[in-house]
């Protein structure tokens, strides 16, 4: 008897090969049999998993007729480092067909940690990844100091999906160097040697790699750049050597210039990344976006990643499947937050606040006022002023949301059509849906106001699908839904330009991401692989508009994004979601090391 039998599904197996109709049998968390149906007959061939006589039996059989059956998605760029310690579901990622996440990216994490450093690490994560500090403080139960002890703590967790992690340079530097490391002072030889040894220890314990951040856009809540931002090459290469001594893994980073703030740096970054990879023999993956200040820089970096192959280097740009920016609204960030008449009602529940805002007198007062000076102690207090300067690049999204909108959907275009100012138009748009409306402000990957550049990035032979930031940027974006977007927009709905094959899109976020991070036991539907599987009604698959929830510890906020069309998601042979709803099954575990 099998544990699970999936019959008559259209199998897109993650290898990139053509789809086929067939059956999949699962036993003890693994795929044990796959049968292809002949073109003439729907039932499987005799002696296969489900044969014409119906002799194959299973504890559960799912008829997948008309459904697309794929491997579970492997999302390699998330930030669940704190959330995983209290939350079993790991939403939003698990809502979107993701069965494996990798965290510890961008040089921020929670291990190792010396007693007394906990709140500093929380402030670091809050500043860089916009995860509410109060939620982290209340939610994390610190029972570790070293990185191996952190893994031991995670090993006890029963989750809906699997989790792998990397050692974060920021936490490592603070642990070894204390205040000197936190303030980005140069590391001495002893510091560097100790960091290298701890990287080796972490890899031997089960870390998938090491990560760092080099972009000055990544700052702690106190305004200090992430520890390691200015680290010299000897320190970076020591991390790489420790990685290899421990058994190998990935070197991940947010490079200098990633946020468009230092456009001289990226070529220099590529130079040391290539040399590091070639010298120590580890793959390097880095965040890459199209920045408005130099819109062709991303293409130059990608071409360099190809040339690096000739040097024996493995350098992989990590790209996003849609624009990267902000979701703007009354519950996130907006242009009226520093105006006195708005501040006077900002404490009210959203429905009451919007009712006040619709009062003509209140509206007139808010529109006529200037902003109060920003609070230098609040990291995001200048956000409203920044947004006000981008109304010509801010779009109405709709539901289902449109991430490739036309110019006539900008705030300024709608204002011109309505005969009002852009600021008044923004005011009215924010009040729609009783204040729950969100507008799209793409800061990166939308310089040409379409997805042609994104398509070129995605299809580049060295690129890796990533940058979902699942679990992070809770009050700004919900890009954890990118795996769903890959299947809806890129394989079915895109009206401008050529769509991409479903087989390609599935491979891009299953086999390719798993292979890069050394997770060879998953990512494809093949006999012997883990039974991480999605059953998807591809034609019905729909991404809904993001919505704000206040369900983190300490009532912390985060954006969630529902979807329709995932009939079932299977992790290690257990159905963890049916029709998008959690089943209560918890087969997910910590991944220790490459396999």
Same domain, 100 and 160: yes
pLDDT number for residue 53? 37
Q: What is the pLDDT of residues 4-33, one digit of tens each?
A: 999 999 999 999 999 999 999 999 999 999
Can you give the CATH number for the domain in which 242 is found?
Answer: 3.20.20.140
Domain boundary among 479, 495, 519: 519
Q: What is the pLDDT of residues 412-469, one digit of tens each?
A: 999 999 999 999 999 999 999 999 999 999 999 999 999 999 999 999 999 999 999 9
Determine contact, residues 244/205, Cβ cutoff 8 Å.
Answer: no
Strands 566-571 and 533-536: antiparallel
Strands 439-444 and 395-396: antiparallel
Q: Is the dihedral of CA 240, 242, 245, 246 positive or negative?
A: negative
Nearest-angstrom CA–CA distance, 298 and 317: 9
pLDDT number for residue 40? 46
Can you give the CATH number for the domain in which 20 is found?
Answer: 2.30.40.10
Residue 273 host element (H or E): helix 265-280
Model-level pTM greater than 0.85? yes
How many domains is the chain built from?
Answer: 3
Burial class (CB in 10 A: 0-12, 13-18, 19+), 94: buried
Q: Which two tokens stand for residue 209?
A: 């790699």
pLDDT number for residue 260? 60
**Cβ neighbours of residue 55 under 8 Å, at least 6 residues apart?**
none
Residue-number span of the structural domain to which 166 is assigned: 73-322+450-519
Nearest-angstrom CA–CA distance, 60 and 377: 56
Residues 376, 377, 378, CA angle at the centre, nearest 5°?
Answer: 95
Q: Is residue 298 part of a domain?
A: yes
- The pairs formed by 537-540 with CB atoms below 8 angstroms and a separation of 24 or more are 537/66, 537/67, 537/68, 537/565, 537/566, 537/567, 538/67, 538/68, 538/487, 538/491, 538/492, 538/502, 538/565, 539/492, 540/564, 540/565
Same domain, 97 and 149: yes
What is the pLDDT of the chain when averaged over all its residues? Answer: 94
Strands 464-465 and 2-11: unpaired
pLDDT number for residue 38? 82
Phi, psi of 581 (to 5 degrees): -100, 140
pLDDT number for residue 44? 46
Nearest-angstrom CA–CA distance, 384 and 394: 13
Domain boundary among 444, 461, 483: 444
Same domain, 381 and 476: no
Q: Which two tokens stand for residue 181?
A: 């490391």
Same domain, 58 and 177: no
Same domain, 101 and 231: yes
Q: What 3-state class would DSSP assign to 7? A: strand
Same domain, 436 and 455: no
Phi, psi of 63 (to 5 degrees): -80, 115
Same domain, 155 and 7: no
Q: Is the dihedral of CA 568, 570, 573, 575 positive or negative?
A: negative
Residue ranges of the chain whose pLDDT lies below 50: 40-48, 51-53
Q: Is residue 567 part of a domain?
A: no
CA atoms lying within 13 Å on the CB side of residue 508 = 29
Determine contact, residues 464/319, Cβ cutoff 8 Å.
Answer: yes
Q: Is residue 481 part of a domain?
A: yes
Q: Is residue 227 part of a domain?
A: yes
Nearest-angstrom CA–CA distance, 549 and 547: 6
Domain boundary among 444, 465, 486: 444
Phi, psi of 114 (to 5 degrees): -85, 150
Helices (H), 432-584: 452-458, 482-488, 502-508, 511-516
pLDDT number for residue 55? 61
Same domain, 331 and 318: no
Q: Is residue 536 part of a domain?
A: no
Same domain, 109 and 143: yes
User: Which residue, among 204, 197, 227, has the nearest Cα to 151 in the 3D structure?
Assistant: 204
Q: Is residue 132 part of a domain?
A: yes
Q: Which two tokens stand for residue 213?
A: 């951040």
């Amino acid at each position: 008897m099998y544990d699970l039998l999936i019959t008559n599904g259209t199998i897109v197996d993650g290898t990139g090969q053509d789809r086929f109709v067939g059956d999949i049998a699962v036993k003890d968390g693994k795929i044990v049999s796959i049968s292809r149906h002949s073109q003439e007959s729907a039932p499987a061939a005799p002696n296969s998993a489900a044969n014409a006589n119906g002799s194959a039996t299973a504890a559960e059989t799912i008829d997948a007729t008309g459904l697309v059956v794929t491997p579970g998605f492997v999302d390699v760029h998330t930030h669940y480092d704190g959330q995983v310690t209290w939350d079993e579901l790991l939403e939003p990622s698990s809502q979107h067909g993701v069965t494996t996440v990798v965290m510890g990216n961008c040089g921020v994490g929670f291990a190792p940690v010396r007693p007394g450093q906990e709140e500093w690490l929380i402030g670091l994560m809050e500043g860089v990844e916009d995860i509410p500090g109060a939620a982290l403080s209340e939610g994390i139960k610190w029972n570790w100091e070293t990185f191996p002890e952190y893994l031991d703590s995670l090993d006890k967790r029963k989750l809906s999906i699997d989790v792998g992690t990397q050692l974060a340079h920021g936490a490592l530097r603070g642990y070894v160097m204390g205040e000197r490391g936190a303030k980005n002072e140069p590391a001495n030889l002893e510091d560097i040697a100790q960091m290298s040894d701890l990287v080796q220890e972490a890899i031997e314990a089960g870390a998938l790699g090491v990560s760092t951040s080099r972009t000055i856009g990544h700052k702690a809540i106190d305004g200090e750049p992430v520890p390691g931002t200015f680290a010299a090459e000897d320190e970076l290469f020591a991390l790489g050597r420790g990685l290899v001594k421990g058994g190998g893994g990935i070197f991940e980073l947010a490079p200098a210039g990633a946020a468009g703030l230092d456009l001289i740096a990226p070529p220099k970054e590529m130079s040391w990344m290539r040399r590091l990879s070639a010298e120590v023999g580890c793959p390097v993956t880095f965040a890459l976006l199209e920045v408005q200040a130099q819109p062709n820089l991303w293409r130059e970096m990608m071409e360099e990643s190809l040339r690096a192959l000739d040097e024996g280097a493995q350098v992989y740009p990590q790209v996003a499947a849609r624009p990267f920016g902000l979701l703007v609204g009354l519950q996130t960030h907006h242009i009226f937050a520093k105006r006195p008449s708005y501040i006077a009602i900002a404490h009210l529940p959203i429905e009451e606040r919007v009712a006040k805002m619709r009062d003509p007198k209140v509206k007139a007062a808010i529109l006529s006022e200037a902003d109060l000076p920003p609070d230098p102690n609040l990291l995001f207090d200048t956000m409203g002023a920044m947004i006000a300067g981008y109304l010509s690049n801010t779009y109405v999204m709709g539901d289902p949301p449109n991430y490739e909108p036309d110019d006539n959907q900008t705030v300024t275009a709608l204002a011109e059509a309505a005969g009002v100012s852009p600021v008044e138009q923004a005011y009215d748009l924010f009040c729609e849906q009783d204040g729950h409306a969100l507008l799209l402000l793409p800061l990166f990957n939308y310089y040409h106001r379409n997805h042609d550049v994104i398509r070129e990035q995605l299809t580049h032979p060295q690129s890796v699908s990533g940058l979902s930031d699942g679990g992070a940027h809770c009050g700004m974006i919900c890009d954890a839904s990118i795996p769903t977007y890959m299947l809806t927009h890129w394989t079915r709905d895109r009206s401008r330009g050529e769509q991409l094959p479903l087989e390609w899109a599935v491979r891009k976020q299953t086999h390719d991401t798993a292979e890069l991070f050394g997770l060879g036991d998953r990512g494809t539907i093949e006999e012997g692989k883990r039974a991480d599987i999605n059953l998807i009604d591809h034609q019905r698959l729909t991404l809904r508009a993001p919505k704000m929830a206040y369900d983190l510890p300490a009532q912390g906020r985060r954006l969630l994004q529902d979807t329709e069309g995932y009939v079932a998601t299977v992790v290690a042979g257990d159905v963890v979601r049916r029709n998008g709803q959690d089943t209560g099954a918890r087969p997910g575990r910590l991944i220790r090391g490459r396999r």
